[in-house]
Amino acid sequence: GNDLVVYNFSAGPAMMPPEVVAQIQKELVSYKNSEMSVMEISHRSELYAEMFQEAKNDFRDLLAIPAGYKILFLQGGASLQFTTVPLNLARKTKQIAFIDTGHWSQTAIDDAHLLTDRKVDVVATGKKSNYTTLPHDIKLEKEYDYVHLTINNTIEGTMYRKLPDLGGQTVVGDISSNILGYQHDVSKYGLLYASAQKNIGPAGLTLVVVKEDLLDQDQDLPSMLDYVKLIKEDSNLNTPPVFPIYAAGLVFKWLKQQGGVKQMQAQNEEKTGILYDMLDNSKLFYATANQADRSLTNVPFTTGDKTLDAKFIAQADEMGLKNLKGHVLAGGMRASMYNAFPLEGVKALVQCLQKFESAHKP
């Protein structure tokens, strides 16, 4: 019926703050009384310039980005950064170290391999544990241009709470699935990147934070792949995704009102904590990620029985708990609970799990 409360556990595109969605609806026809839709605003207009600068400043505040780091609002998803990062940062030794923590790290590795004049070393892997455990003890035997880590593994449900000791070498982090949901220490990184459609807003926007002194000012790459040119034009080298930037800007304001990233991290600890607690005490369900490496945003779990998992997913769906099916590569279930996901949603999931468990006691 119409009074069914729906909780969207999608890994992305994912839930946005309902207040923000309502504001978008209100402003969609006339942005700031301009009698133009926000979708119709030129990227060369004052209205856009103001919107973009505000979003950029709020993002800098929220992530506590130190001076010396530049912010880029780009397109192409986190996936395009798998190519753009090595083109821009692997220029001295032309050697890159990767930590293999699962699917998205492997995709980044595969794309780096296609740049045939770069050498790619996989210096550690979680393969033996089927990627339920992160490598922490990492030995680097030479000087790399950078070491790449997927900080939160969206599919496997693992995250680095603390960076491994990498001997002071430059670190590049993919934070697509926990950007602004965990207090990353930007000063420990040479570059961070994330797409927006998980913890920020609609798909179509990719955020890059780069330490400027790592860039070769004389490089001459194809324009849309050249951080130096993109920085020079303040992410306005071609037509930027005005609507996703607008929506992201509203989410940044919302985040500030909520108490910023510190508050989000505390809430994410609480939300995932309730679920991990249930799973750790369950006789039917279990969380798949190693306890010390558990994500604060993506929680994969299973009964270990495909038929039973499918039955649970169908039953949960009927109760308004949507998109709990695990990634095709992982199977089982996955509950993604980003910043905008409410505490009541995880409580409803726990109830549903308990009910299912009593009906299917092993």
In angstroms, how far is CA 145 from the centroid of its own chain? 24
Single out the segment in contact with ligand PLP by CB under 6 A; choices: 76-84, 137-145, 237-245, 247-255.
76-84
Residue from 8, 101, 158, 177 binding ligand PLP (CB under 6 A): 177
d(CA 133, CA 292): 8
Residue from 14, 15, 72, 78 binding ligand PLP (CB under 6 A): 78
Report the residue number, 179 or 321, with the smaller CB distance to ligand PLP. Answer: 179
254 catalytic residue (yes or no):
no
Report the residue number, 189 or 356, with the smaller CB distance to ligand PLP. Answer: 189
174 catalytic residue (yes or no):
yes
Please report how close the Cβ of residue 154 comes to ligand PLP at its closest, in angstroms.
3
Single out the segment in contact with ligand PLP by CB under 6 A; choices: 32-40, 169-177, 278-286, 353-361.
169-177
Please report how close the Cβ of residue 2 comes to ligand PLP at its closest, in angstroms.
32
Instruction: Kindly name the residue from 70, 104, 293, 309 that is annotated as catalytic.
Output: 104
Cis bond before residue 13 (omega within 30° of 0): yes
| 81 annotated as belonging to a binding site for a ligand | no
Report the residue number, 207 or 346, with the smaller CB distance to ligand PLP. Answer: 207
Among residue numbers 52 through 71, which ones bind ligand PLP (CB under 6 A)? Answer: none
The answer to whether 12 contacts ligand PLP (rule: CB under 6 A) is yes
d(CA 78, CA 148): 13
Please report how close the Cβ of residue 163 comes to ligand PLP at its closest, in angstroms.
16
Report the residue number, 170 or 177, with the smaller CB distance to ligand PLP. Answer: 177
Q: How many residues in the shown chain lie near ligand PLP by CB under 6 A?
A: 11
Residue from 176, 199, 272, 295 binding ligand PLP (CB under 6 A): 176
For ligand PLP, the binding residues (CB under 6 A) are: 12, 77-79, 104, 150, 154, 174, 176-177, 195
**Binding-site entries for pyridoxal 5'-phosphate:** 78-79, 104, 154, 174, 197, 238-239
**Binding-site entries for L-glutamate:** 44
